Amino acid sequence: MGMGGPNFRMRGPAETYVRWSDLRNEMEFARTGPGGHINADTEFGLYVGLGTGAPLNGVATAVFARMVDKFERIVVDIEAETIRILDSRGA
């Protein structure tokens, strides 16, 4: 699955794809080679469907609430790391 749109720019040796790494426990969306650059302002959505689509309750609700909390923390960490990298480059 590739990415694109008005808020996605790529130059140099680069490719987009979506791949989950069990070993590293992370999702990789793009990769660049030397001199490559990717600039993306992208939003990712999450949809989980179980069974008939009836409202969840009990344990399932608690598990999904923890998942959403984890995803939100990951996004905050990615944003902070991006700012740190840009600041270290003087951007």
Domain ranges in the chain are 1-40, 45-91
> Could you write out the DSSP letters of every residue in 71-90?
HHHHHHHHHHHHHHHHHHHT
- Mean local confidence (pLDDT), 5-15: 73
d(CA 52, CA 35): 49
pLDDT computed for residue 48 by the predictor: 66
pLDDT in tens, 37-88: 888 777 777 676 666 767 666 777 787 888 888 989 999 999 999 999 999 9
pLDDT of residue 26: 79
Confidence band of 6 (pLDDT split at 50, 70, 90): low
Instruction: Give 15's strand partners.
Output: 31
Instruction: Check pLDDT > 50 for residue 15.
Output: yes
